[in-house]
């Protein structure tokens, strides 16, 4: 058993809810191993105004209206925003009917919050969790490159190698939406842990796993099951699997139970130019180049262990 009373790890969550982002936020807020310093809204699955609202809905569902929520950038560093209502629904979190949030959104820009927090807290003590396009972190690194050496780790959901892409044959959504931001993050020198599609496609929302969450019979579990049942329909049809992949909560689960995951440190570069492969994470898994190893690329996960953790933590949210 882990000591849950040890000093919690300080994290900033940067996210574009998204049903799977919502589950990641709930998992973080239910976990005493983590201290959420703030949550920054990214533009991604749906536009920024909706993701900022969705984050606050999730915090209120978790009984945490005290969490500081910030709005980040409205679109990618270059080009226009590509969204995914075709997966997540018009609200970004279709499937559960939650009240309009009453907690405020902070007036400080999310990029400034990231920079100021990293400069204020002890160097190496803050982990950045990105669950959407990395526009806010990329912009922060461009504005204040000195933050890179102060980041404990960037743990991100994005990319794919053996599994290919989910928006194009080559690219995963979060990297595809803002490849320039991803390129800046991967070149920053900050320690990076990637949860690519190779991992998240193993974490399927099977009937038995969803039933275990439903059996919690709480307002939180009711919302979660509604989200999962809406969200999985798209990928079930696409991949022909029982249940759909659950992406973003892997970032948070890794921080709590790293032993659930395995991968290797390798070089990962981002394709930003090619019309055919824009947003591809070119991962040198086999070490065929001498390019610098800049990211731990996760490839396998104990999916049953993941769902046991998720279900146990959701049970703690009785709000």
Residue 259, φ and ψ in degrees, nearest 5: -65, -10
* Angstrom distance (rounded) from CA 101 to CA 39: 15
Considering the rule CB under 5 A, would residue 298 count as an interface residue with Ca ion?
Answer: no
Q: Half-sphere exposure of residue 116, counting CA atoms within 13 Å on the CB side? A: 9
Q: Token digits for 6?
A: 């040890």
Residue 185, φ and ψ in degrees, nearest 5: -65, -45
| Number of chain residues interacting with ligand BDR (CB under 6 A) | 15
Which residue among 11, 12, 13, 18 contacts Ca ion (CB under 5 A)?
18
Considering the rule CB under 5 A, would residue 132 count as an interface residue with Ca ion?
Answer: yes
Rule CB under 6 A: which of 157-196 touch ligand BDR?
157, 166, 172-174
Stretch that binds Ca ion, among 8-16, 69-77, 185-193, 276-284 (CB under 5 A): 8-16
Rule CB under 5 A: which of 92-111 touch Ca ion?
none
SS (H, E, C) 46-103: CCHHHHHHHHHHHHHHCCCCCCCEEECCCCCCCCCCCCCHHHHCCCCCCCCCCCCCCC
Considering the rule CB under 6 A, would residue 235 count as an interface residue with ligand BDR?
Answer: no
- Quick check: is 247 catalytic? yes
Minimum distance between the CB of residue 44 and ligand BDR, rounded to whole angstroms? 7
Quick check: helix, strand or coil at residue 279? Answer: coil
* Angstrom distance (rounded) from CA 17 to CA 25: 9
* Angstrom distance (rounded) from CA 136 to CA 154: 13
Considering the rule CB under 6 A, would residue 132 count as an interface residue with ligand BDR?
Answer: yes
Nearer to ligand BDR (CB atom), residue 173 or residue 254: 173
Nearer to ligand BDR (CB atom), residue 72 or residue 132: 132
In the complex, the residues that contact ligand BDR under the rule CB under 6 A are: 18, 20-21, 45, 84, 87, 131-132, 157, 166, 172-174, 247-248
Active site (catalytic) residues: 247
Which residues form the interface with Ca ion (CB under 5 A)? 16, 18, 21, 131-132, 248
């Amino acid at each position: 058993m882990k000591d849950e009373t040890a000093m919690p790890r300080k994290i900033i969550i940067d996210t574009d809810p998204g049903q799977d982002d919502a589950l990641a936020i709930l998992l973080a807020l239910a976990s005493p191993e983590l201290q959420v310093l703030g949550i920054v809204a990214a533009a991604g699955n749906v536009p920024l105004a909706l993701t900022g609202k969705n984050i606050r809905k999730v915090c209120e569902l978790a009984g945490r209206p005290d969490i500081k929520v910030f709005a980040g950038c409205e679109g990618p560093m270059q080009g226009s925003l590509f969204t995914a209502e075709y997966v997540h629904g018009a609200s970004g979190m279709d499937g559960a009917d939650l009240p309009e949030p009453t907690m405020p959104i902070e007036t400080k820009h999310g990029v400034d919050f990231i920079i100021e927090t990293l400069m204020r807290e002890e160097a190496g003590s803050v982990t950045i969790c990105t669950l959407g396009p990395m526009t806010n972190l990329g912009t922060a690194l461009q504005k204040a490159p000195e933050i890179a050496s102060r980041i404990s780790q960037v743990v991100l959901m994005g990319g794919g190698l053996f599994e290919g892409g989910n928006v194009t044959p080559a690219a995963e959504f979060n990297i595809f939406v803002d490849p320039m931001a991803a390129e800046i993050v991967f070149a920053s020198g900050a320690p990076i842990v990637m949860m690519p599609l190779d991992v998240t496609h193993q974490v399927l929302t099977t009937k038995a796993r969803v039933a275990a969450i439903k059996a919690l019979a709480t307002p939180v579990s009711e919302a979660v099951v509604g989200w999962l049942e809406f969200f999985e329909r798209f990928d079930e049809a696409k991949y022909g699997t029982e249940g759909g992949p659950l992406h973003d909560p892997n970032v948070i689960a890794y921080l709590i139970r790293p032993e659930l995951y395995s991968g290797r440190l390798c070089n990962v570069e981002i394709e930003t130019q090619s019309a055919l492969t824009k947003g591809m994470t070119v991962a040198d898994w086999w070490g065929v180049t001498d390019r610098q190893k800049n990211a731990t690329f996760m490839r396998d996960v104990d999916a049953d262990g993941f769902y046991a953790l998720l279900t146990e933590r959701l049970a703690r949210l009785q709000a």
